[in-house]
């Protein structure tokens, strides 16, 4: 993947580079994510990629993925993007996160998915 990382930095179209970076930050280890985000040359798009890197850390924390557990201190659901709220509603293992998303998620879909996931977690054998 090292060569793809170098190539994306050479891509003249920021939208294409951004598309590749957003896909890759979800697939590479956490330690490599910021390297991908920094390859974006357009400042506005780079800030979006850096935001996605932060959001993935929050998502992993509330989902119990990648050995990350608990909820980060900076976890303010009202400030989460639509992308993060939807992913958290689909994957979270935190009852408190799902309850808050079910009550105040940005979209009806997020609120519905959160409520469904919460019911499933409560029914699951312990």
Distance (Å, whole) CA 18 – CA 41: 9
**DSSP secondary structure code for residue 69 in this structure:** -
Q: What is the structure's pLDDT at 75? A: 59
Residue 72 structure tokens: 């980060």
Residue by residue, pLDDT tens for the chain (126 residues) are 668 999 998 999 999 999 999 999 999 999 999 999 999 988 889 999 999 999 999 999 988 765 444 554 445 888 899 999 999 999 998 999 999 999 999 999 999 999 999 999 999 886
- Contact predicate 50/23, CB 8 Å: no
Whole-prediction pTM = 0.83
pLDDT at 76: 83
């Amino acid at each position: 993947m090292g060569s793809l990382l170098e190539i994306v930095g050479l891509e003249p179209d920021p939208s294409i580079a951004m598309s590749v970076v957003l896909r890759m930050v979800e697939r590479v280890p956490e330690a490599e994510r910021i390297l991908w985000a920094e390859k974006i040359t357009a400042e506005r798009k780079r800030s979006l990629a850096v935001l996605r890197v932060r959001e993935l850390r929050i998502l992993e924390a509330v989902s119990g993925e990648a050995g990350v557990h608990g909820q980060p201190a900076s976890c303010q659901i009202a400030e989460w993007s639509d992308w993060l709220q939807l992913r958290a509603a689909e994957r979270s293992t935190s009852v408190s996160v799902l309850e808050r998303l079910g009550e105040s998620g940005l979209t009806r879909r997020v609120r519905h998915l959160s409520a469904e996931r919460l019911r499933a977690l409560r029914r699951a054998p312990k």
